[in-house]
């Protein structure tokens, strides 16, 4: 870990200004991933700007019926928040499947979606990795790639985004609100994370000096039929091999009115395909139809050897998650 200096920002403008003082500054909130990466010398900021106390520790309802999650609220406080539990249970379920209780007490909403990949090679400075060191090569493509991506990969990077929360946010069409030196802007989740292409060092479209201030959830529509299915190598405290955030709206005849399916653990960003969801609209909520949607979602999937299984696993997981979403109401 580098020698660092530290300052605590009092508001967003202060944070942005502090950040601008050196070109090696980094915002820190929960710190659970940044410090992790600093200790293995993968991230090497010279200055940390603490943004925990810049006024975004709130969860509040929006005039349009949506919900705004302050960026510095912890994952635990968000997931257990009564309004989130009642109206956005998919999000709560995804968040509670992540990490450990201790980490959820530290990790913030803004930080969660800023998590970096868990790729072994990214974490190990003795290996080549284009995300860590652009141009050095990708060790995963011909290496041990069991955890790696099957969708949206490039010749430069096959890393996956590790967040569970982001997958649910993507399924719920959340919007990330950010503020930077030139003002505020809103980034839909869809456009927040990016595919690696030839710039895998860039995880997302946030500028280095921009701060995430909050995440906006549109009015709740998937509080009845939802499921976050996370498949992993142990039943708790492990990253997803494949995860599915599934949400449905059904009519009385169990026909699909609306569907949202986001996948985690399969790409550089939470993965959605509107065409696959559209395929379900108006159709009965049956396993056969779900399989059709799953096939379409995975039609471009490609394995790299150790992760070939993810294609079939994801296919089955999508069907299972949708089935669970249909049946969820029975347990309510």
Partner 1 sequence: METEKYNNTPQEPTISLTVNGQMHTLKVEPWVSLLDALRDHLQLTGTKKGCDHGQCGACTVLVDGKRINACMTLAIMRDGAEITTVEGLSQGQDLHPLQQAFIDHDAFQCGYCTPGQLCSAIGLMQEGKAKTLAEVQDLMSGNICRCAAYSNINAAICEVMGIENRGGSL
Partner 2 sequence: MKSGYIGAAVNRVDGYLKVRGEAKYAAEYQAEQLCYGVVVSSSIAKGKIKTLDASKALALDGVLQVFSHENRTSLPWFDRSYKDEDQPPGSPFRPFYSNEIQFNMQPIALVVAESFELARYAATLIDVEYKAVDFNADFLNSQEKAYEAKKGKSGWKPPKSRGNASKALKHADVLVEATYFHPAEHHNPLELHASTVVVEADDTFTVYDKTQGVFNSQQYLMNIFGLSKAEVHVKAPYIGGAFGSGLRPQYQLFMAFMAAKALKRSVRVVLTRQQMFSFGHRPMTTQQLSLAASSKGKLVGIKHEAIAETSQFEEYTENVVNWSGMLYDCPDVDLSYKLLKLDTYTPLDMRAPGGATGVYAFEAAIDELACKAGVDPLQFRLLNYAEQEQNEKLPFSSKELKACYAIAADKFGWARRNPIPGQLREGDNLLGVGMATGVWEAQQQQVMAKAKLSPDGQLVVSCGTADIGTGTYTVMSQIAAETLGLPIEDVSFLLGDSDLPMAPLQGGSWTASSVGPAVLSVCEGLKEKLLKEAAGLPHSGFKGAKVEEVLFKDGMLCLKGDPSVQLSIAALMKQRNLAILEHQTASMPDPKQSQYGKYTHSAVFVEVKVDAELGNVQVSRVVVAVAAGRILNPKTARSQVLGGVVWGISMALEEESVMDKQYGRFINHDLAEYHVAVNADVHDIEVIFVEEEDDVINPLGVKGLGEIGIVGVPAAISNAIYNATGKRLRALPFTLDKLLE
When asked if residue 4 is in the footprint of partner 1 (CB under 8 A), the reply is: yes
When asked if residue 255 is in the footprint of partner 2 (CB under 8 A), the reply is: no
When asked if residue 125 is in the footprint of partner 1 (CB under 8 A), the reply is: no
When asked if residue 237 is in the footprint of partner 1 (CB under 8 A), the reply is: yes
Q: How far is CA 281 from CA 90, 246, 293, in A?
A: 20, 14, 10
| Number of helices (H), then strands (E), in the chain | 13, 11
Q: Are 93 and 244 in contact (CB under 8 A)?
A: no
- Please identify which residue in 9, 16, 28, 240 interacts with partner 1, judged by CB under 8 A: 28
Q: Are 52 and 106 in contact (CB under 8 A)?
A: no
Q: Are 144 and 307 in contact (CB under 8 A)?
A: no
Q: Closest approach of Cβ 1 to partner 1, in Å?
A: 6
Q: Which does 296 bind (CB under 5 to 8 A by kind): partner 1, partner 2, none?
A: none
Q: Read out DSSP for 157-203?
A: B------SHHHHHHHTT-EEEEEETTEEEEEEHHHHB---TT-TT--
User: What is the rounded distance in angstroms from the CA atom of residue 227 to the CA atom of residue 243?
Assistant: 10
Task: Considering only residues 40 through 79, tell me which ones interact with partner 1, judged by CB under 8 A.
Answer: 40, 44, 46-48, 50, 52, 76
73-112 footprint of partner 1 as x/- string (CB under 8 A): ---x---x------------------xxxxx-xx------
Q: Which is nearer to partner 1, 35 or 292 (CB)?
A: 35
Q: Are 165 and 155 in contact (CB under 8 A)?
A: no
User: What is the rounded distance in angstroms from the CA atom of residue 197 to the CA atom of residue 97?
Assistant: 29
Tokens 């599915």 locate to: 244
Task: Considering only residues 36 through 75, tell me which ones interact with partner 2, judged by CB under 8 A.
Answer: 39-41
Interface residues with partner 2 (CB under 8 A)?
A: 1-3, 39-41, 118, 120-121, 123-127, 139, 142-144, 146-147, 231, 233-239, 241, 309, 312-313, 316-317, 319-320
Interface residues with partner 1 (CB under 8 A)?
A: 1-6, 22, 24, 28, 30-32, 35-36, 39-40, 44, 46-48, 50, 52, 76, 80, 99-103, 105-106, 235-237
């Amino acid at each position: 870990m580098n020698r660092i200096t530290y300052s605590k920002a009092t508001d967003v403008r202060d944070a942005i200004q502090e950040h601008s003082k050196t070109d090696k500054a980094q915002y820190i909130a929960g710190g659970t991933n940044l410090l992790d990466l600093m200790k293995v010398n993968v991230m090497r900021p010279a200055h940390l700007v603490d943004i925990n106390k810049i006024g975004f520790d709130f969860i509040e309802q929006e005039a349009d019926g949506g919900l705004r999650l302050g960026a510095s609220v912890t994952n635990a406080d968000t997931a257990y928040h009564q309004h989130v539990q009642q109206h956005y249970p998919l999000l709560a379920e995804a968040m509670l499947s992540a990490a450990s209780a201790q980490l959820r007490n530290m990790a913030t909403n803004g930080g969660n979606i800023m998590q970096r990949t868990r790729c072994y090679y990214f974490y190990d400075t003795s290996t080549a990795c284009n995300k860590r060191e652009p141009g050095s090569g990708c060790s995963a493509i011909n290496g041990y790639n069991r955890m790696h991506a099957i969708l949206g990969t490039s010749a430069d990077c096959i890393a996956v985004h590790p967040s569970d929360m982001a997958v649910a946010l993507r399924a719920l069409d959340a919007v990330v609100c950010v503020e930077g030196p030139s003002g505020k802007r809103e980034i839909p989740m869809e456009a927040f994370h990016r595919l690696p292409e030839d710039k895998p060092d860039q995880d997302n479209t946030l500028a280095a000096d921009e701060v995430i201030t909050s995440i906006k959830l549109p009015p709740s529509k998937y509080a009845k039929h939802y499921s976050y299915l996370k498949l992993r190598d142990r039943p708790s405290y492990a990253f997803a091999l494949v995860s599915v955030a599934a949400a449905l709206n059904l009519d009385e005849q169990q026909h699909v009115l609306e569907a949202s399916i986001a996948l985690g653990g399969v790409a550089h960003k939470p993965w959605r395909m509107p065409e696959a969801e559209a395929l379900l609209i108006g159709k009965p909520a049956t396993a056969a139809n779900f399989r059709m949607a799953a096939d379409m979602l995975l039609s471009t999937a490609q394995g790299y050897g150790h992760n070939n299984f993810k294609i079939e696993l994801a296919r089955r997981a999508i069907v299972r998650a949708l089935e669970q979403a249909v049946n969820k109401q029975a347990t309510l």
